[in-house]
């Protein structure tokens, strides 16, 4: 398993993986020094994340190898089907997965997503359109949704 740190507009991202696939991508609350030479198994991930933040990439094409339960992996697979620039509520996601009563379990699996941005858990919102919980902080969730929005809000001042 190899690791790297890369700079993003939302802070330092930590990447961990190997030749099989990515295990973890997370945004850190502390500033870490960016890795000078990205290990070969992580080069493509670092490149695609950079393109995403530059607005040049709308989807990721990476080998993933996250650790989780079968249910969590089912939720994470469903999250990857939410298109760039779109959102889905936890209720809609639960219905999609076939059990409206599983909303809390779906929300819990969403919150345990180990692959920040690549598995787009930030695209899941409350049924009323609110920006509910986000492990990376609601300010980051808002930034990511604004970044992906097809309509760019102009400032008045």
Residue numbers annotated as active site: 121
CA 23 – CA 132 distance, rounded (Å): 25
Helices (H), 2-148: 43-53, 70-79, 90-96, 103-111, 138-148
Count of alpha carbons within 13 Å of 89, Cβ hemisphere only?
10
Lookup: tokens for 120: 């787009």
Count of alpha carbons within 13 Å of 58, Cβ hemisphere only?
9
- Total number of residues shown for the chain: 157
């Amino acid at each position: 398993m190899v690791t790297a740190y890369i700079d993003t507009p939302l802070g330092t991202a930590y990447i961990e993986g190997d030749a099989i696939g990515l295990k973890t991508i997370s945004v850190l609350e502390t500033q870490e020094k960016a890795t000078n030479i990205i290990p070969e198994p992580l080069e493509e991930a670092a490149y695609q994340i950079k393109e995403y933040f530059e607005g040049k990439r709308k989807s990721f094409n990476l080998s993933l190898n996250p650790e989780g339960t079968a249910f969590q992996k089912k939720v994470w697979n469903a999250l990857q089907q939410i298109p760039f620039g779109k959102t889905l509520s936890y209720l809609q996601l639960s219905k999609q997965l076939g059990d409206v009563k599983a909303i809390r379990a779906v929300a819990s699996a969403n919150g345990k997503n180990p692959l920040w941005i690549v598995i787009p858990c930030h695209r899941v919102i409350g049924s009323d359109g609110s920006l509910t919980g986000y492990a990376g902080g609601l300010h980051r969730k808002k930034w990511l949704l604004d970044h992906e929005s097809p309509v760019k809000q102009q400032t008045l001042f």
